[in-house]
Amino acid sequence: RIEMMLVNGIDTWAPVLPVKRAIVDFSSPNIAKEMHVGHLRSTIIGDSISRMLEFCKADVLRRNHVGDWGTQ
């Protein structure tokens, strides 16, 4: 497979997904609390998943959900 990617290019290696569109919702900080390293982890994972889907030619909508707006 590596030889095929070197000869044909990496774009030919991307798997064909059954979906053409995806929404990835990540990094959910709570507006009433401080940010912490867990939010960074979620952001990195969400970004990685989005990039993999885009590599597979999916139309990706990235959503950043800003947690709970209630008074706590």
Measured from the Cβ of residue 43, the count of other Cβ atoms closer than 10 Å reads 15
Cα separation, 14 vs 1, whole angstroms: 12
The active-site residue out of 20, 36, 57, 65 is 36
Q: Quick check: is 65 catalytic?
A: no
Q: Quick check: is 39 catalytic?
A: yes
Q: Quick check: is 20 catalytic?
A: no
The active-site residue out of 20, 39, 57, 65 is 39
Q: So which residues are the catalytic ones?
A: 33, 36, 39
